[in-house]
Amino acid sequence: MKEEDEILRKCGTGNPFTVPDGYFDHFKENIIEQLPEKVDQPTVKHHITRWSRVKPWFYMTAVFAGMLLGVRLMLNLTSGSESSETSKHAETEIVTDRYVETMIDHSMMDDYSLYECLTEAE
Amino acid sequence: MTPSYNEKEVLLLLQHEDTQKEAFSRIVAQYSEQLYWQIRRMVLSHEDANDLLQNTFIKAWTNIDYFRAESKLSTWLYRIALNECLTFLNKQRATSLVSIDEPEADAVSTLEGDPYFSGDEAQVLLQKALLTLPEKQRMVFNLKYFQEMKYEDMSDVFGTSVGALKASYHHAVKKIESFLKDSF
């Protein structure tokens, strides 16, 4: 790099800093003396009860049971609504126009009394 | 006579409580000088550099059990030292009444009166130029320019990508060169 060469030419890489005499020789001894003693951290023993061991499995089973129940309920609801749909369909198929006409004939109803009957029903 | 430094051996000694201190004293002997110069280039004063170097080794000692040898020991120590420097410089900036326009002016005047600084005019100018850089960029420049540290090793120290470090160094060089051009 051109700029780097220029800095090297002008300033070099010399170290302009100095230290007191014997600084590095004494540093090691000084720092080793200063090191704090290591204190063993007391380990806290937790008593594990049977319930705390079983708890996660219990919760997991409960979640799965809940999910199964939910799925089953949903399936039931869907099939229930499907069957009611089919039954409605069946009812409309049973009551055909010809059947209605026959029934009217048998009941000896004329158009006026039929109209009257229908308006009363409303 | 000091035994020659062997990182694998030192790491093994560190694992046992009765040899841990011996291993640590070998680490101090091996790395104190290079860490000192790196810290000194950041904080400039010998007293501050000495305090920060001591803090670095005390922190390393208290956390040595957490060192898992996933990175090099030197990388881990550099990381601690540079974090110490950043914390110190942030505190210094917050407490001192340094000029906003020329933050380097105060530091350079202190440097010129420092009995442990023997630089010529060009080196004073270089220090002045370095002080205009953001702290992390200054660290990157110092590690590359003076210590010729590899970008890959620097990437472990800073937790930054090699590309970002190269860009940071490139910008630092451009800024310093431009500062020197205006000053000479």
Structural tokens at position B17: 């409580």
Q: What is d(CA B54, CA B76) in angstroms, rounded to the nearest whole number?
A: 15
Q: Say which residue, A74 or A46, is predicted with more confidence.
A: A74
Predicted confidence at residue B8, as pLDDT, reads: 86
Percent of chain B scored above 70 by pLDDT? 92
Taking an 8 Å cut-off on Cβ atoms, the answer to whether A31 and B40 are in contact is no
Taking an 8 Å cut-off on Cβ atoms, the answer to whether A19 and B170 are in contact is no
Distance from CA of A10 to the nearest CA of B (A): 7
CB B77 within 8 A of CB B60: yes
| pLDDT interval class at A46 (50, 70, 90) | low
| pLDDT interval class at B71 (50, 70, 90) | confident
Distance from CA of B75 to the nearest CA of A (A): 20
Q: Please, is B7 exposed, middle or buried when counting C-beta atoms within 10 Å of its C-beta (0-12, 13-18, 19+)?
A: middle
Tokens 């010399």 map to which residue?
A14
Q: Is the pLDDT of residue B111 over 90?
A: no
Q: What is d(CA B179, CA B184) in angstroms, rounded to the nearest whole number?
A: 9
Least confidently predicted of A10-14, A42-46, B95-99: A42-46
Question: Interface pTM (ipTM) of the complex?
Answer: 0.82
Structural tokens at position A105: 């004939």
Residue-wise pLDDT for B48-68, tens only, equals: 999 999 999 999 999 998 887
- Chain CA centroid to CA B24, Å: 20
* Closest CA relative to residue B104, chosen from B77, B84, B134: B134
pTM over 0.80, yes/no? no
Mean pLDDT of chain B: 89
Predicted confidence at residue B183, as pLDDT, reads: 80
Q: How many CA atoms lie within 13 A of A108 on its CB side?
A: 0
Residue-wise pLDDT for A58-79, tens only, equals: 999 999 999 999 999 999 887 7
Tokens 């390393």 map to which residue?
B60
Structural tokens at position B14: 């560190």
Name the amino acid, one letter, at B176: I
Predicted confidence at residue B55, as pLDDT, reads: 96
Predicted confidence at residue B138, as pLDDT, reads: 96
Q: At CB < 8 Å, which residues of chain A contact B?
A: 1, 3-4, 6-7, 10-20, 23-24, 27-28, 30-32, 34-36, 38
Q: What is d(CA A100, CA A56) in angstroms, rounded to the nearest whole number?
A: 66
Residue-wise pLDDT for B163-181, tens only, equals: 999 999 999 999 999 999 8
| pLDDT interval class at A91 (50, 70, 90) | low
Q: Is the pLDDT of residue B97 over 70?
A: no
Percent of chain A scored above 70 by pLDDT? 73
Q: Is the pLDDT of residue A101 over 90?
A: no
CB B133 within 8 A of CB B119: no
Q: What is d(CA A45, CA A48) in angstroms, rounded to the nearest whole number?
A: 9
Q: Please, is B166 exposed, middle or buried when counting C-beta atoms within 10 Å of its C-beta (0-12, 13-18, 19+)?
A: middle
